[in-house]
């Protein structure tokens, strides 16, 4: 069962530090009533008794001498109501307030779900070894929709999923409720996630048929108890595929009626259904453009159908058309900006963090500064499609934080992406953040034990986009391993630096999309034979005898014009462009001089080497951590780190050998000569890589 309990191992270590909290078990009052409150009680029962190693005594009434009271503000009585010393308005619909007082602790909120979140947070504080004396904490989410996107297919394969098969056992549903569904919901609620899209964006219309809706309803019944709404992907051609219509034209009356009725039917099964996520006119998915209509026509048709039920439509901006050969990075902006202000009130446009596709580093997507009238939802990828799958240790909150803290300058300095996403920048009526899930049937849910931290961290950032990656790492270590200071001092920097390591050994200096065909795993910078130019790595690095990099300045694709003047100036000017984005925005000669005086070629080679060295350091750190963790935990990660080191070297050697054919320059000192030939690296094949969509690049 290694890793199954995630960050909720209530029987775990640190019992010493909790001795002084044993009093909490004395007399617990918990408000009862709803299913969500039952979940809260259940969590206290397993959580607190596990953490304190003590039998819990519950009291049926709220008394002044209770040791723990979990109750809504409106039901507080006697001295407990006096302990509520903050304005309840600040708690909103989902926030909570926890405070200690003489001999007791209060957890309160305006709503049941607020109480559940408060209970989880209290348990986490205890678990992390906090003493809770003179303690008070008020917290409320700043983002409305905090969602996982599962790219799960109905046959239980997962597109870009590297942790086994889909959790949703369609064959045994609706009768059989796997304990995993409950534990999945608990884990999500513990970090504030309140929505889940069950199915792949490359959608299958069958999930909208009664046979499946009954199963979806069974899952929704489980998740509802944890405040999690279910959403489905809507295949745009569903009216034809399962409705027998001849068209899916969004302006056709029959089509509109079909969606309205289908939606009513869904809400009969699932009264609190969240809504639809749609990938349309992208990578072969059907959409309104098939009928000469627009994204607005398509999104608004569905929005109209879900509106009477309070649902939303999340329309993806991940589009890039086949015929535009200038620059894929520009296309989503070009297609969507003209529609700003035309979407219905219950539509959110979901934008990937960068303009290409979930690379280990991309500048922020220009749409984040450009649609002031449309709620823009962030789409991060938690599954490591382009970051070493579940074999490489990469702490993604560092990447997420970098994107969220990027300044769009749309309303002057400080207009960060975080503020666009939480809606405060433009006073948006609704806000959201989605993460493409990295969860599957693997015992530990995520494949790599440290990939759990990415799920955890996503939840924390969706709750509050201003959260610091550093704090997330520290909390996760405490909850997952122990709160031992020496261990934290080892693991925290290892996790924090792991993101830069993968950038260095895969995509240094702003290079991107250099993967070999099909799997998005190993290096293939030489690939130039795929069906579309923008599926080929050569399209992205543009290396030749004269240099390397994608010119996105005025002399090139001018993608920079899609950013505000400040941003476009900074990135467009070689003096001010951070070297981390150098080759993303500029095509430069091999002998161009970098900030530290190195030539571009030497600097590039040294970056690859640095990535390899960073992985070696991670291995050294892990050896030191051995004293603080059990043997199984040690060995599992050790084997994975060894793979990561081998593959970091593979990336370095294959990439440098290939680029050397253009630069014609020697490797600088400190970078070992590759032991194999370029032909060897080109010949490498994968016997099996999970998560592939066969027809894809």
Residues catalogued as catalytic: 283, 357, 385
**Residues in 184-243 at the binding interface with ligand BDP, rule: CB under 6 A:** 201-202
Residue 139 or 152 with smaller CB distance to ligand BDP = 152
3-state secondary structure of 693: coil
According to CB under 6 A, which one of 18, 72, 99, 160 is a site residue for ligand BDP? 160
CB of 519 to ligand BDP, least distance (A): 10
CB of 492 to ligand BDP, least distance (A): 30
Residue 461 contacts ligand BDP per CB under 6 A: no
Site string for ligand BDP, 250-279 (x = CB under 6 A): -----------------------------x
CB of 325 to ligand BDP, least distance (A): 20
Residue 318 contacts ligand BDP per CB under 6 A: yes
How would you classify the pairing of strands 136-139 and 104-109? Answer: unpaired
The Cα 300–Cα 295 span in angstroms is 8
Quickly list H helices, 69-130: 78-83, 112-127
Residue 534 or 653 with smaller CB distance to ligand BDP = 534
Residue 693 contacts ligand BDP per CB under 6 A: yes
Instruction: Write out the H or E segment, with its range, that includes residue 28.
Output: strand 28-30
First to last CA, the chain: 36
The Cα 475–Cα 492 span in angstroms is 10
Sorted by sequence, the CB contacts under 8 Å of residue 62 that are 6+ apart come out as 29, 69, 71, 75, 76, 77, 78, 80
Q: Does residue 601 contact residue 663 with C-beta atoms inside 8 Å?
A: yes
Listed in order, strand segments (DSSP E) in 94-203 are 96-101, 104-109, 136-139, 145-149, 195-197
The Cα 388–Cα 160 span in angstroms is 11
- What is the number of the residue whose Cβ is closest to ligand BDP? 357
CB of 625 to ligand BDP, least distance (A): 33
Q: CB 324: neighbour CB atoms within 10 A? A: 14
CB of 358 to ligand BDP, least distance (A): 5
CB of 350 to ligand BDP, least distance (A): 10
Q: Does residue 164 contact residue 440 with C-beta atoms inside 8 Å?
A: yes
Tokens at 496, concatenated: 């924090």
**Residues in 321-360 at the binding interface with ligand BDP, rule: CB under 6 A:** 357-358
Quickly list H helices, 24-91: 35-52, 78-83
Quickly list H helices, 383-484: 397-404, 417-421, 452-463, 469-480
Residue 532 contacts ligand BDP per CB under 6 A: no
**Residues in 369-408 at the binding interface with ligand BDP, rule: CB under 6 A:** 385
Q: Does residue 614 contact residue 607 with C-beta atoms inside 8 Å?
A: no
**Residues in 282-301 at the binding interface with ligand BDP, rule: CB under 6 A:** 283
Residue 159 contacts ligand BDP per CB under 6 A: yes
Of 360, 460, 377, which Cα lies nearest the Cα of 422? 377
The Cα 155–Cα 91 span in angstroms is 42
Size of the site for ligand BDP (CB under 6 A): 12
The Cα 452–Cα 464 span in angstroms is 19
CB of 283 to ligand BDP, least distance (A): 6
| Residues in touch with ligand BDP (CB under 6 A) | 159-160, 201-202, 279, 283, 318, 357-358, 385, 693, 696
């Amino acid at each position: 069962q290694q890793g199954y309990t995630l960050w909720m191992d209530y029987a775990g270590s640190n019992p010493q530090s909790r001795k002084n909290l044993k009093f909490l078990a004395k007399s617990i009052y918990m408000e009862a009533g709803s299913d969500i409150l039952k979940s809260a009680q259940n969590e206290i029962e397993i959580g607190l008794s596990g953490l304190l190693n003590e039998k819990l005594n519950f009291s049926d009434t709220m008394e002044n001498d209770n040791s723990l009271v979990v109750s809504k503000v409106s039901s507080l009585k006697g001295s407990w109501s006096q302990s509520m010393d903050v304005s309840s308005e600040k708690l909103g619909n989902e926030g909570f307030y926890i405070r200690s007082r003489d001999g007791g602790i209060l957890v309160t909120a305006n709503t049941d779900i607020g109480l559940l979140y408060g209970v989880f947070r209290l348990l986490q504080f205890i678990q992390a070894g906090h003493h809770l004396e003179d303690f008070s904490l008020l917290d409320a989410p700043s983002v409305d929709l905090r969602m996982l996107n599962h790219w799960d297919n109905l046959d239980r394969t997962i597109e870009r999923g590297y942790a086994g098969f889909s959790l949703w056992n369609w064959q045994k549903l609706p009768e059989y409720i796997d304990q995993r569904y409950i534990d999945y919901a608990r884990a999500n609620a513990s970090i504030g996630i309140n929505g889940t899209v069950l199915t792949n964006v490359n959608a299958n219309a069958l999930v909208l048929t009664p046979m499946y809706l009954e199963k979806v309803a069974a899952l929704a019944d489980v998740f509802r108890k944890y405040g999690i709404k279910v959403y489905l992907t809507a295949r745009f051609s569903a009216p034809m595929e399962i409705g027998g219509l001849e068209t899916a034209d969004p302006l056709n009356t029959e089509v509109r009626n079909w969606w309205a009725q289908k939606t009513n039917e869904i809400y009969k099964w699932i009264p609190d259904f969240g809504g639809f996520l749609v990938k349309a006119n992208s990578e072969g998915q059907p959409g309104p453009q098939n009928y000469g209509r627009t994204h607005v026509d398509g999104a608004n048709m569905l929005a109209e159908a879900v509106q009477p039920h309070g649902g939303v439509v999340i329309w993806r901006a991940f589009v890039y058309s086949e015929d535009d050969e200038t620059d894929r990075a520009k296309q989503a902006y070009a297609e969507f900006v003209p529609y700003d202000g035309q979407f219905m009130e219950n539509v959110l446009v979901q934008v990937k963090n960068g303009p290409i596709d979930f690379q280990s580093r991309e500048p922020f997507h220009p749409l984040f500064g450009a649609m002031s009238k449309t709620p823009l939802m962030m789409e991060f990828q938690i599954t490591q499609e382009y970051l070493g799958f579940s074999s490489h240790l990469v702490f993604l909150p560092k990447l997420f934080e970098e994107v969220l803290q990027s300044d769009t300058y749309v309303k002057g300095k400080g207009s960060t992406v975080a503020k666009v996403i939480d809606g405060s920048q433009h006073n948006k009526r609704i806000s959201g953040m989605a993460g493409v899930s990295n969860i599957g049937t693997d015992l530990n849910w995520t494949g790599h034990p440290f990939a759990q931290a990415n799920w955890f961290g996503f939840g924390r950032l969706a709750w509050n986009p201003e959260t610091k990656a550093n704090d997330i790492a520290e909390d996760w270590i405490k909850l997952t391993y122990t709160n031992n200071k020496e261990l934290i001092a080892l693991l925290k920097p290892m996790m924090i630096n792991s993101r830069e390591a993968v950038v260095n050994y895969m995509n240094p200096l702003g290079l991107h999309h250099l993967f070999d065909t099909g799997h998005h795993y190993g290096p293939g910078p030489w690939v130039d034979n795929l069906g579309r130019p923008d599926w080929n790595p050569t399209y992205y690095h543009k290396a030749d005898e004269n240099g390397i990099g994608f010119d996105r300045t005025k002399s090139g694709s001018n993608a920079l014009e899609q950013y505000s003047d400040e941003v476009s100036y900074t990135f467009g000017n070689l003096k001010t462009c951070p070297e981390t984005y150098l080759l993303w925005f500029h095509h430069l000669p091999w002998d161009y001089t970098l900030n530290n005086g190195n030539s571009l070629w030497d600097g590039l080679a040294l970056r690859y080497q640095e990535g390899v060295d960073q992985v070696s350091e991670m291995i050294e750190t892990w050896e030191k951590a051995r004293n603080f963790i059990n043997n199984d935990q040690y060995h599992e990660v050790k084997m994975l780190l060894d793979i990561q080191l081998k593959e970091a070297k593979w990336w370095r050697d294959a990439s440098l050998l290939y680029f050397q054919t253009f630069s014609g320059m020697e490797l600088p000192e400190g970078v070992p000569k590759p032991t194999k030939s370029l032909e060897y690296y080109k010949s490498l094949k994968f016997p099996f890589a999970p998560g592939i969509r066969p027809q894809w690049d």
